[in-house]
Amino acid sequence: MDSGLHCYLHIPFCRARCPYCDFCLVTKQDLQDRFFSALEKETAARLSLLEGVVLKSVHFGGGTPSFVPVSYLESWLETLTKYVSLCDGAEIALEANPEDLSIEKLRNLAALGVNRLSIGVQSYMPEKLLALGRCHNADEALRTTGEAMNIFGNVSVDLICGAEGETLEIWERDLRIALSGDVPHVSVYMLALEKKTLLDKQVRKGLVTLPGEKAQAAMYLKACELLEADGFQHYEVSNFSKPGFFSRYNLACWQRESYLGFGPSAHTFMADGVQELRSANTSSLVRYIAGPCDALGFSEQLSDEARISEKIFLSLRLSSGLSVDDLLRYHEGSSLVLDAVDQLKEQGLVEICGEVIKVSRKGFLFADQVAEELMPAKTSRQSSAGRRQEK
């Protein structure tokens, strides 16, 4: 067993559901008490089976962890640390929304041991916040970014581009305000239409019109330009960090380190050097509360093919890229894949730095498609298609 794991806790409560969000959460608050007692049971049951585990990070995600009373988080951390220990300097990160962050709440979270705060600001513009259906206003976004910086220092701000009515100028103002707050980490997301969300329905009915793909791509590229010029490292498709301030939990997931997930819809990945197992809890809160120790939604031992596909897909999301040697190994030495790399290079989607393939700034807009082009199944399909043509 890997002695250094990461841990994720999914807290499925939000004040209201944002129109674009399809995460596993509820806005009925009367289930909080029963959820946290179920969570304690799941945590104790699973951790009692593990020995000598040291956690390198704990990530409170959701939903909105800042929305629930800190006493629940404290009690869960007490349960957790009965079974596992935290390594020196472990990252304890919490996702928060501005409307929850009174000074008292910020201080209580710091007293709990939280040492990284990720704030769902999304925008500092009143009209854009309204279009996104957020619960906070521009003043709260500004105030809490500043106060969180004073208390935590290690603060990340989430920003969304591509809201209704948003122009490149509005987006640039958002970025410049975030930069003026001196936060050391920014996550930039392009508003996506998730199926069955309110926003999706509104767009389908013609009630809302979003900026097109080109406009959104220009916003993303503007973010890359401004943030990199300000000293941020673009270390993952959506994530920008000053040196030493990257999200350790998220980076661990992208680098395929082991992590345990608790709560509904939380994912777990365990790799012991021989086998790799992915599993996830049910996304039904009702089912989770009814049987937290029997909440598995799915579990799968990864095949070699699945591992390779994950490695290619995840490595290419990171600025560290994928080594040519590894790619050739995944293709069992077949150099056909290098033709695909050349084509991607000609299209400006990847760059070759020494022996490493890195996705370019433009390529990050199409990271999934770039990875798809380099999958063993894809290139073997291409080679057989090529042979058919030759005949």
Smallest gap from residue 141 Cβ to ligand SF4 (A): 13
Q: Give, in degrees to the nearest 5, the angle at Cα 374 between 221 and 376.
A: 160
Q: Is 177 helix (H, G, I), strand (E, B) or coil?
A: helix
| Least gap, CB of 374 to ligand SF4 (angstroms) | 32
Spell out the residues 6+ positions from residue 381 whose beta carbon is closer than 8 angstroms to its own: none
Please check whether residue 173 is in contact with residue 127, taking contact to mean a CB–CB distance below 8 angstroms.
no
Closest separation in Å from C-beta 25 to ligand SF4: 6
Q: Enumerate binding residues for ligand SF4 (CB under 6 A).
A: 14, 17-18, 21, 23, 25, 62-64, 97, 120
Beta bridge partners of 353: 356
As measured in angstroms, the least distance from the Cβ of 65 to ligand SF4 is: 10
Nearer to ligand SF4 among residue 96 and residue 226 (C-beta):
96
With a CB cutoff of 8 Å and minimum separation 6, the contacts of 193 are 20, 199, 200, 203, 210
**Of the two residues 288 and 313, which places its CB atom closer to ligand SF4 in the complex?**
288
Residue among 21 and 110 whose Cβ is closer to ligand SF4: 21
Minimum CB separation of residue 116 from ligand SF4 in Å reads 17
- Tokens representing residue 204 in the block: 């389908």
- Of 327, 329, 260, give the one whose Cα is nearest residue 296: 260
Measured from the CB atom, the residue of 216 and 379 that comes closer to ligand SF4 is: 216
Q: Please state the closest distance from residue 204 (CB atom) to ligand SF4, in A.
A: 20
Is the CB of 14 or the CB of 210 nearer to ligand SF4? 14
What are the distances in angstroms from CA 187 to CA 2, 101, 204, 234? 29, 19, 28, 10
Strand 54-62 and strand 85-96: pairing?
Answer: parallel
Nearer to ligand SF4, 239 or 258 (CB): 239
Q: Which is nearer to ligand SF4, 24 or 289 (CB)?
A: 24
User: In the complex with ligand SF4, which residue's Cβ is closer, 120 or 376?
Assistant: 120
Burial class (CB in 10 A: 0-12, 13-18, 19+), 130: middle
Task: Give backbone dihedrals phi and psi of 277, rounded to 5 degrees, phi first.
Answer: -125, 130
Given CA atoms 76, 82, 84, 85 in this order, what sign does their dihedral have? positive
Give the count of beta carbons closer than 10 Å to the beta carbon of residue 354. Answer: 8
Instruction: Find the shortest distance in angstroms from Cβ 20 to ligand SF4.
Output: 7
CB of 23 to ligand SF4, least distance (A): 5
φ and ψ at residue 155, rounded to 5 degrees: -125, 140
Distance from C-alpha of 298 to C-alpha of 13, rounded to nearest angstrom: 22
**Measured from the CB of residue 194, what is the shortest distance to ligand SF4 in angstroms?**
10
CA atoms within 13 A on the CB side of 363: 26
